[in-house]
Amino acid sequence: MNKDLTIIDTMEGLFSKERFVYIETFGCQMNENDTTRMVGLLKALNYKTVDEPHRADLILINTCSIREKAEHKVYSSAGRFKRYKRKNPELVIGISGCVAQQEGERLIKRLPYIDLVFGPHNIHRLKTFLADIYLKRQKVVSTDLYDTIDDGEYVATPIEGIKAFVSIMRGCNNFCSYCIVPYTRGREVSRPSKEIIEEIKEYAGKGVKEVTLLGQNVNSYGMSGGDVSFTGLLRMVCGIDGIERVRFVTSHPKDISDSLIYLFGEEDKLCRSIHLPLQSGSNRILERMKRVYSVEDYLSRVSLLRRLYPDMSITTDIIVGFPGETEDDFKETMEVVRTVRFDGIFSFKYSPRPMTLASTFKDQVPEDIKQRRLEELQRLQKDITAEKNRSLVGRTMEVLVEGRSKQDASELTGRTTCNRIVNFPGSPELVGKMVGVFITHGYSNSLRGIYKERSRLCS
Ligand code: 5AD
Ligand code: SF4
């Protein structure tokens, strides 16, 4: 008999048994999306997801290494699962994501109870990895990086709810001096637009109303491997029937084009919100970060966006305590935050990462100074966000209803086009609908209101 067929038969037999998988995900939306892809692949292999790790036949930890703290979580999480292995020697424990890519074999040496280590470029090989573990009883480490995307590497995955996240590219070519992503996720490659559009159409057919396009730097979509520009792709996505809202993350300020900025005025479905990481308000630090824009460039993009779309939400990422950041540099960052009045900030203490240029800089900032700067920045932003949210009281905003509120099941939760969370009492029939909500309260992280009407309104 053909030897390959025997292996395939054995594989089919192997996956005819129902099994349970528990997945823990850390980090960014890319990782969340990778987890969704893994769930899709595993469903086809007869795995059901469970919320209790002790019931699982397979435990996967999808990891993040953007900061040292995130990396440490891998070890505490894996440590928690070790005891299940003692009770069930057949249990398979795997580590995927950026720490897997960064550490490879070292993870198996450090955590001998781990069976599987695979990086972000190898997710679609999960079936073969599991077959090798079960049939050949061997451990698997797969951390090759590729400059192209395989056919079928990204496919539509089972989706629940009305929102879908779709990777349009992977990797990053920017090599910001603090960032590990280009090393763990490899070079930038764009997916063909046809494949992306087919995936989104499939979601739309299953009731998805909102799609978020994902990439480390979506504005350079099409520059390595894609067939249209990012603006072209957005137009195509906005043209898909059934999709009512389109979002995207993350944008690099150096690549955000005028045509993209004007597109917000041309495409109704394009949500009025943009995440535009500033990182620092000091030109000297931006240069050392290799961000390739100045504060003035950044502010001119923001002022064009605000002039054209006064209600547009602009959020950002800021790192405090980058090597060499002086008190004056930090003050400049605070000044930009006061000037722009961001709708939200994700703020981080600089964390030296392996392989990165900035980790070799000698003038590292002491931890207590980083902590103090972070707290100061967060205090300032908390007041700005709360003020902005309060200023929306009295307005009726268009909300896409996502589901029941987690805090109070009698309430619904949804988001405005500018990505603010709105909670309000209402009937579950409204889930998936675009409704008008009259805002009665503005808090630091959300809005509250009362249901007004089920119709299209402007926000
Ligand atoms: N230290 C702290 N923050 C970092 N980020 C990326 N690398 C680091 C690092 N080494 C932040 C940046 C980026 C966000 C996703 O994480 O602000 O935009
Ligand atoms: Fe990291 Fe810079 Fe690429 Fe963003 S653009 S992923 S910060 S290297």
pLDDT tens string 93-121: 999 999 999 999 999 999 999 999 999 99
Indicate if the pLDDT at residue 282 is higher than 70.
yes
Read off the pLDDT of residues 6-17 as tens digits, 9 standing for 90 and up.
555 577 789 999
Residues 425 and 303 in one domain: no
Q: Where are the alpha helices (DSSP H) in 15-67?
A: 29-44
Average pLDDT on 428-437 reads 95
Contact (Cβ atoms closer than 8 angstroms) between residue 385 and residue 343: yes
Closest Cα to atom 7 of ligand 1: 179
Residues 258 and 319 in one domain: no
Average pLDDT on 257-261 reads 95
pLDDT score, position 151: 84
Examine residue 459 and state whether it is found in any structural domain, yes or no: no
Average pLDDT, the chain: 94
Residue 422: CATH number of its domain: 2.40.50.140
Contact (Cβ atoms closer than 8 angstroms) between residue 247 and residue 281: no
Residues 32 and 130 in one domain: yes
Cα(237) to ligand 1 centroid in Å equals: 29
What phi and psi values does residue 414 have, to the nearest 5 degrees? -160, -175
Contact (Cβ atoms closer than 8 angstroms) between residue 379 and residue 351: no
Residues 318 and 349 in one domain: yes
Examine residue 218 and state whether it is found in any structural domain, yes or no: yes
pLDDT score, position 454: 62
What residue numbers bound the domain in which 104 lies? 2-142
Read off the pLDDT of residues 117-140 as tens digits, 9 standing for 90 and up.
999 999 999 999 999 999 999 999
Contact (Cβ atoms closer than 8 angstroms) between residue 59 and residue 96: no
Indicate if the pLDDT at residue 1 is higher than 60.
no
Picking from 142, 161, 195, the residue at the C-terminal end of a domain is 142
Task: List CB contacts of 29: < 8 A, sequence separation 6 or more.
Answer: 165, 212, 214, 249
- Integer Cα distance of 102 and 97 in angstroms: 9
Longest dimension (CA), the chain: 75
Q: Which pair of tokens denotes residue 269? A: 């479905």
Indicate if the pLDDT at residue 206 is higher than 80.
yes
Contact (Cβ atoms closer than 8 angstroms) between residue 165 and residue 144: no
> Count of CB atoms within 10 A of residue 210's CB?
22
Picking from 390, 420, 441, the residue at the C-terminal end of a domain is 390
Average pLDDT on 429-447 reads 95
Examine residue 206 and state whether it is found in any structural domain, yes or no: yes
Indicate if the pLDDT at residue 362 is higher than 90.
yes
Q: Is the CB of 358 under 6 A from ligand 2?
A: no
Residue 198: CATH number of its domain: 3.30.750.210
Read off the pLDDT of residues 233-252 as tens digits, 9 standing for 90 and up.
999 999 999 999 999 999 99
pLDDT score, position 12: 74
How many independent structural domains does the chain possess? 4
Atom of ligand 2 lying closest to residue 175 CA: 8
Of 437, 362, 368, 430, nearest to 401 by C-alpha is: 430
pLDDT score, position 86: 86
Indicate if the pLDDT at residue 457 is higher than 70.
no
Average pLDDT on 183-211 reads 96
Sign of CA dihedral 124, 125, 131, 134: negative
Indicate if the pLDDT at residue 68 is higher than 50.
yes
Residues 190 and 284 in one domain: no
Examine residue 108 and state whether it is found in any structural domain, yes or no: yes
Cα(66) to ligand 1 centroid in Å equals: 6
Residue 158: which pLDDT band, with cuts at 50, 70 and 90?
confident
Picking from 271, 290, 324, the residue at the C-terminal end of a domain is 271
Residues 323 and 370 in one domain: yes
Indicate if the pLDDT at residue 4 is higher than 50.
no
Atom of ligand 2 lying closest to residue 216 CA: 6
Indicate if the pLDDT at residue 392 is higher than 90.
yes
As a whole-number percent, the residues of the chain with pLDDT over 90 amount to 90
Contact (Cβ atoms closer than 8 angstroms) between residue 413 and residue 406: yes
Atom of ligand 1 lying closest to residue 318 CA: 17
Residues 15 and 59 in one domain: yes
Pocket probe for ligand 2: among 174, 218, 280, the residue whose CB has the most ligand atoms within 8 Å is 174
Average pLDDT on 393-399 reads 97
Residues 284 and 255 in one domain: no
Q: Which pair of tokens denotes residue 60? A: 């996967």
Residues 261 and 152 in one domain: yes
Average pLDDT on 402-409 reads 89
pLDDT score, position 9: 57
Examine residue 457 and state whether it is found in any structural domain, yes or no: no
pLDDT score, position 458: 40
Examine residue 458 and state whether it is found in any structural domain, yes or no: no
Residues 195 and 225 in one domain: yes
Examine residue 113 and state whether it is found in any structural domain, yes or no: yes
Paired residues of 274 in beta bridges? 314
Cα(180) to ligand 2 centroid in Å equals: 8
Indicate if the pLDDT at residue 321 is higher than 80.
yes
What phi and psi values does residue 250 have, to the nearest 5 degrees? -110, 150
Residues 127 and 71 in one domain: yes
Contact (Cβ atoms closer than 8 angstroms) between residue 169 and residue 188: yes
pLDDT score, position 160: 84
Cα(346) to ligand 2 centroid in Å equals: 15
Indicate if the pLDDT at residue 2 is higher than 70.
no
pLDDT score, position 156: 86
Burial profile 411-420: b = 16 or more Cβ within 10 angstroms, e = fewer: ebbbbbbbbb
Examine residue 456 and state whether it is found in any structural domain, yes or no: no
Residue 357: CATH number of its domain: 3.30.750.200
Cα(403) to ligand 1 centroid in Å equals: 31
Closest Cα to atom 4 of ligand 2: 216
Residue 63: CATH number of its domain: 3.40.50.12160
Residues 8 and 114 in one domain: yes
pTM of the model: 0.94
